[in-house]
């Protein structure tokens, strides 16, 4: 059974800090790893990672995947209060349904 573990479970930082969120996984047939941001509604897509060592960047957010060690990190630099959310990591398998298995998420709170 596919499994995704995220750490830490929750995190409180001050505005301007840099944070690193961790995601480790076990998946039978790996296709991709995805990061989502969830506020009060459904998740919004951040990144899809398929290859090791290639950093994806979007503004202050970046992510990288290590397929050998089976983990990924999501970095947020110069955090803002608007970054407060739950960050979800999911892995997608190569089955015909390409199902996503989600981790429990990291709850990030950015304070002033």
Of 100, 44, 46, nearest to 74 (Cα)? 46
28 binds other proteins (CB under 8 A): no
Chain centre to alpha carbon of residue 35: 4
Q: What is d(CA 53, CA 49) in angstroms, rounded to the nearest whole number?
A: 10
- Residue 62's beta-bridge partner residues? 57, 75
Identified binder of other proteins from the candidate list 91, 100, 108, 110, rule CB under 8 A? 100
35 binds other proteins (CB under 8 A): no
Identified binder of other proteins from the candidate list 23, 72, 105, 108, rule CB under 8 A? 105
Q: Which is nearer to other proteins, 4 or 64 (CB)?
A: 4
Selected range binding other proteins among 14-22, 60-68, 69-77, 100-108, rule: CB under 8 A: 100-108
- Residue 19's beta-bridge partner residues? 76
CB atoms closer than 10 angstroms to residue 67: 15
Identified binder of other proteins from the candidate list 18, 44, 80, 109, rule CB under 8 A? 44
Q: Which residues bind other proteins (CB under 8 A)?
A: 32, 34, 36, 41-45, 48, 88, 90, 92, 97-105
């Amino acid at each position: 059974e596919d499994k995704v573990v995220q750490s830490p479970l929750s995190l409180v930082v001050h505005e301007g800090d840099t944070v690193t969120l961790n995601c480790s996984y076990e998946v039978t047939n790996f296709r991709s790893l995805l990061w989502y941001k969830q506020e009060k509604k459904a998740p919004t897509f951040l990144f899809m990672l398929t290859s090791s060592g290639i950093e994806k960047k979007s503004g202050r957010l970046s992510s990288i995947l290590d397929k050998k060690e089976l983990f990924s990190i999501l970095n947020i630099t110069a955090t803002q209060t608007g970054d407060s959310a739950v960050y979800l990591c999911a892995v997608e398998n190569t089955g015909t349904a390409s199902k996503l298995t989600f981790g429990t998420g990291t709850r990030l709170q950015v304070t002033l």
